Amino acid sequence: MDYHRLLLENTFRLVYTLVRPEKQDKTGEKEKVSKISSGKDLKLDGYQDVLCSYINNPHTTFVRRYARRLFLHLCGSKTHYYSVRDSWQFSSEMKKLFKHVNKSGGFQNPLSYERSVKIVKCLSTMAEVAAARPRNWQKYCLRHSDFLPFLINGVFYLGEESVIQILKLLNLSFYAGKDIGHSLQKNEAVDSGINSNKSGSQSQDPKKKKKGEEGTESGSDKSYLDMESVIDIFSDKGGDVLKQFIDCFLLEWNSSSVRAEAKCVLFGVWHHAKQSFKETMMMALLQKVKCLPMYGQNIVEYTELVTWLLGKVPDISSKQQSSELVDRCLTPDVIRCIFETLHSQNELLANHPIPAYTTL
């Protein structure tokens, strides 16, 4: 085993010595290294699969450093390096995910424990990479337009561990930049006093990565892409998917972590959507007002989201449009429904048989 490790390690070192443009001698002077005898440089297309495999394989950590160094040289820049590497890893995990789901006969069929664990592992690996570099995840989603519909179809059938990872991926696909996330996080703290650590992943900064692990985006580029073209995943079936998502994950689910992620997903969708979909989404949210008492404390995330959407406008230039949208959505009937719901709850408290509740 030691022999094979030594052979592989030195093979990588030898290849890198042959392809790097210059090297440092012991005196500190740079000397040119002659090109490979064939006169041809290594091409990225021919080697990205094998290099990414060595970099991401937990059994080849002893050559990971050399594989990274060679891969970075072939890519030419860190931005391109992480773009190619992330895309490869997303594709690799996606293939595994499709394989596990197909072997089970689809999401609708019950999953064995072993297969559920494998699905969670695939999703969590993708979520971790996407959280480090959301823009690369968005690029991947735009290039593979069938993957987000696949996730949104599966999220209604899976257990909580898989659901939370899918919601993180959906959240990051509608990533809207750190500034927007910080605004939402600040609003949560003011309105509810909830610890910011419990908020969704979009409203947090990505976790610190080990040295050399985190890619950097070009300063001239936005940290996110326009994802308006994939909003359709929520408008399918006449808007039923959106309504089901709100019911299931924003209100009915008893885990606050799931509800917080769902809130951030809808917030990201709002940011990327056109005015017509924003109006549809706001109406779907406001239609739930009369049912809110039956959800108890589960309405915290719903209230935070609706309050933010009605009262905050991230883009100053769109204030007039948003004001018109609010006016169209907050009709006299909606306002009356809000008032009647609050009034009925106050009546219940005032007439409660336990005296302590009548003072609330």
pLDDT for 184: 60
pLDDT for 158: 93
- pLDDT single digits (tens) 211-258: 444 454 444 357 788 999 899 899 877 778 999 999 999 999 999 999
pLDDT for 312: 59
pTM, entire model? 0.80
Cα–Cα nearest to 173, from 197, 142, 204, 199: 142
- Using N-to-C axis directions, what is the helix angle for 134-143 and 147-154, rounded to 10°? 100
pLDDT for 216: 46
> Is-contact 268 226, C-beta < 8 A?
no
Q: Within 10 Å of residue 235's Cβ, how many Cβ atoms?
A: 16
Below-70 pLDDT ranges, the chain: 1, 21-44, 179-221, 312-322, 356-360
pLDDT for 329: 78
What SS3 state is found at 142? helix
pLDDT for 320: 58
How far separated are the first and last CA of the chain, in Å rounded?
A: 72
